[in-house]
Amino acid sequence: MRRFSMSNSSIILFFLIVSAISISCLASDQALSAKDLTYMTEQYPPYNYQESGKLQGISVDLLERICAKMGTDLNTSTIKLLPWTDGYQTALKENNTVLFTTFRLPEREQLFKWVGPIAPGKNVLLASNKNITIMAPEDLKKYKIGAIKDDVAVQGLLNSGLKVEDLIIETTSKPIIEMLKNGSIDAWAYNELAGTWLLRQSGANASDYKVAFVIAESDGYYAFNRETPDSLVQSFQHALDHVKSNKDSNGASDYEKILHKYIP
């Protein structure tokens, strides 16, 4: 009888410990707020970019509105500006991290939790040679194509039949732009808006480059590390939905005003 009582006591103690841990984790999840997250982005205009020391762009302005709606005053100077692949790998591995602007693909669906869409995007091949003609995915193999590691355009090219070893991969856009300008590569696989903007920033004449092929179209999102509590991700989504739907007396939402500011 004594042995039975001790066994029961052990079972009760075990469940008390499990309950305490569960309550502690739940409280921790509930305590986590927008200000506790680490936000990461890259130089990817007009979605997000730094100019004259100030971080701005569609996704940055929109994130400020979202946080304000959630009762958090976001200091944009705390957002980390990183090479894309560094931010991408960090968001995959580290808790409480958010990466933007991240284009949502089937291959990425289970890697993150998503809030969006922020804005549409078109991934293309930007080429300087007017004689480049790509009528079908098979034609891609005829050309030297530069791309950024872990970028959405890379996945699009892989889906079109290319292999990673067929591409010239860099971690930032600067060496790719230089290769495109000096003819070392035939085309750059990248977002059309961002690529054109960065070419202009480099001093190139954007009119000297053309869209040689449309790889794919997709929407940009805020990508949250998988361990972010669902309740917090849902709060972000609800705040974004409000920024999009709440209109002023002229019938324009804050979201529409932000888009118009960067994409007239």
pLDDT band at residue 25 under the 50/70/90 scheme: very low
Q: Give the residue, 5 or 57, on which the prediction is more confident.
A: 57
In tens, the pLDDT along 165-210 reads 999 999 999 999 999 999 999 999 999 999 999 999 999 998 899 9
The pTM (predicted TM-score) of the whole model is 0.84
Region for residue 57 given its phi and psi (left: phi exceeds 0; alpha: psi -120 to 50; beta: otherwise): left
- In angstroms, the Cα distances linking 178 to 45, 135, 154 are 18, 26, 19
Residue 23 has pLDDT above 80, yes or no: no
Query: CA–CA separation, 206 vs 197, rounded Å?
Result: 8
pLDDT band at residue 131 under the 50/70/90 scheme: confident
**For the chain, which domains are there?**
35-120+219-262 (3.40.190.10), 121-218 (3.40.190.10)
- Taking residues 50-58, report their average pLDDT: 96
- Taking residues 57-73, report their average pLDDT: 97
Tell me if 94 sits within 8 A of 228, measured CB to CB.
no
